[in-house]
């Protein structure tokens, strides 16, 4: 099922894998799709290390990177990273830090082993920009995706000038039109089912409307694709490919601790919730004691983005690292979509790509059979 995005990016099949694991990026790109490295949370040094590794293993295959450059935050001017971070830190009430610390303590989550601080890495233009500069040094990076809003115009222009394509996520038609107007090359339409930051409109309604609204700009379907039947549905509705995330959280190559993968493998589609408790904006994740704690009426309410990220930054790294210790798994940060309910066994990344393709072909054969009158 070659579509126009395959031509645009030099890939064989329009399967895009959003992941924070370099191994998954490499495996998916080598299997004919496009691996996209989510860089939020990585320091520039880490970004360099990950991209070096990818470049050393991916051969001549293309890949992408995903950044978070919002246009602006309400009431916060742009500043140099250090100044900005100080300014933001001063805005977080101590009670929020104490509340987060108590949740972790109550669940036996070990302290971080050194006194390094988690900053606001990658959640602002000031911190994401150096990540981008590093990525643009790499010839195999063919796509830069922005996870939150339309990228600033100068960022789009810089990426285009370097010969790469720009993609951007959205959950509303209005945002898709803004992306298109700004020169974004590929629109990623994410339905409410999706993991991470997500809106209200379901994929089955959002995808075809977006396709029509931004045509001829290609649309990737995000939010709810876990098998080849769902991929066929996306292409049937006019999407040029699928943008998948949850699919790659539990693959063999994913870096998470076994306890974290177990929580994901056992989650049903009803076990996710849209919560502001980690980033400050509604994001879908596995419901657990952390998300419930921030919902309870008597407790502090999540702050906005990026402030809540300063409250949760330490919790993110500790729960991820110590997922298997005590009750850590009950307060872990596990962003994923409702499609997680379909993901119940560990596969390799390559097996996932080939499974999707096989299921896709079987689906089309079945649909053709129905048209021929076979029930």
User: Which residues contribute to the site for its own copies (CB under 8 A)?
Assistant: 1-4, 6-7, 172-173, 191-193, 200-206, 208-209, 223-227, 229-230, 232-238, 268-270, 337-339, 341-342, 361, 363-364, 367-368, 370-371, 373-375
DSSP 3-state of 244: strand
Q: In what order do the strands lie in the sheet with 272-275?
A: 196-197, 283-286, 272-275
Beta strand pairing call for 186-190 and 219-222: parallel
Q: Which is nearer to its own copies, 104 or 357 (CB)?
A: 357
Q: Which is nearer to its own copies, 127 or 275 (CB)?
A: 275
DSSP 3-state of 305: coil
Residue 266 half-sphere exposure, CB side, CA atoms within 13 Å?
Answer: 10
In whole angstroms, what is the distance from residue 150 CA to residue 256 CA?
30
Sign of CA dihedral 324, 327, 331, 337: positive
In the complex, the smallest distance separating the C-beta of residue 85 from its own copies, rounded to whole angstroms, is 35
Bond before 216 cis per omega within 30 degrees = yes
For helices 22-30 and 44-57, angle between their N-to-C axes, nearest 10 degrees: 30
DSSP 3-state of 181: helix
Q: Which is nearer to its own copies, 6 or 156 (CB)?
A: 6
Q: Which is nearer to its own copies, 81 or 341 (CB)?
A: 341
In the complex, the smallest distance separating the C-beta of residue 258 from its own copies, rounded to whole angstroms, is 25
Q: Which is nearer to its own copies, 44 or 213 (CB)?
A: 213
In the complex, the smallest distance separating the C-beta of residue 223 from its own copies, rounded to whole angstroms, is 7
Q: Which is nearer to its own copies, 122 or 194 (CB)?
A: 194
Q: Which is nearer to its own copies, 255 or 366 (CB)?
A: 366
Q: Measure CA 224 to chain center.
A: 13
CA triplet 88, 93, 98: central angle to 5 degrees?
Answer: 120
Q: Measure CA 298 to chain center.
A: 31
In the complex, the smallest distance separating the C-beta of residue 273 from its own copies, rounded to whole angstroms, is 9
Q: Which is nearer to its own copies, 41 or 238 (CB)?
A: 238
In the complex, the smallest distance separating the C-beta of residue 216 from its own copies, rounded to whole angstroms, is 12
In the complex, the smallest distance separating the C-beta of residue 274 from its own copies, rounded to whole angstroms, is 10
In the complex, the smallest distance separating the C-beta of residue 228 from its own copies, rounded to whole angstroms, is 9
Q: Which is nearer to its own copies, 92 or 177 (CB)?
A: 177
In the complex, the smallest distance separating the C-beta of residue 240 from its own copies, rounded to whole angstroms, is 9
Whole-number Cα distances in Å, 244 to 62, 92, 146, 283, 326? 17, 34, 15, 16, 31
Of residues 178, 229, 267, the one with CA closest to residue 359: 229
Beta bridge partners of 286: 272
In the complex, the smallest distance separating the C-beta of residue 157 from its own copies, rounded to whole angstroms, is 27
In whole angstroms, what is the distance from residue 263 CA to residue 203 CA?
25
């Amino acid at each position: 099922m070659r579509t126009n995005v395959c031509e645009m990016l030099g890939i064989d099949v329009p399967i895009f894998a959003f992941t924070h694991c370099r191994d998954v990026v490499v495996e998916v790109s080598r299997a004919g799709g496009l691996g996209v490295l989510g860089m939020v949370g990585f320091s520039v040094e880490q970004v360099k290390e990950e991209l070096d590794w990818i470049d050393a293993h991916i051969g001549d295959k293309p890949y992408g990177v995903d950044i978070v450059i919002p246009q602006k935050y309400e009431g916060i001017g742009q500043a140099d990273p250090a100044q900005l971070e100080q300014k933001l830190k001063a805005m977080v009430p101590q009670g929020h830090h104490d509340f987060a610390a108590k949740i972790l303590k109550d669940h036996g989550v070990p302290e971080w082993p050194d006194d390094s601080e988690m900053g606001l890495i990658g959640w602002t233009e000031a911190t994401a920009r150096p990540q981008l500069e590093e990525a643009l040094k790499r010839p195999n990076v063919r796509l830069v995706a922005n996870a939150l809003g339309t990228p600033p115009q100068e960022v789009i222009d810089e990426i285009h000038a370097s010969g790469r394509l720009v993609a951007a996520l959205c959950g509303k038609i209005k945002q898709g039109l803004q992306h298109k107007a700004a020169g974004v090359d590929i629109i990623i339409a994410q339905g409410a089912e999706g993991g991470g930051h997500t809106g209200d409109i379901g994929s089955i309604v959002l995808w075809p409307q977006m396709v029509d609204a931004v045509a001829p700009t290609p649309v990737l379907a995000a939010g709810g694709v876990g098998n080849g039947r769902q991929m066929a549905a996306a292409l049937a509705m006019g999407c040029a490919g699928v943008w998948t995330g949850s699919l790659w959280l539990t693959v063999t190559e994913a870096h998470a601790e076994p306890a974290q993968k177990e929580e994901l493998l056992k989650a049903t589609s009803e076990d996710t919730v849209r919560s502001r408790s980690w980033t400050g904006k509604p994001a879908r994740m596995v419901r657990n004691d952390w998300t419930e704690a921030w919902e309870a009426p008597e407790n502090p309410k999540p702050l906005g983005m990026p402030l809540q990220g300063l409250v949760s930054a330490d919790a993110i790294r500790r729960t991820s690292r110590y997922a298997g210790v005590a009750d850590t798994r009950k307060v872990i940060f596990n962003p994923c979509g409702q499609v997680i309910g379909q993901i119940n066994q560990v596969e390799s990344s390559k097996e996932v790509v080939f499974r999707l393709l096989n299921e896709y072909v079987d689906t089309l054969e079945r649909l053709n059979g129905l048209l021929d009158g076979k029930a």
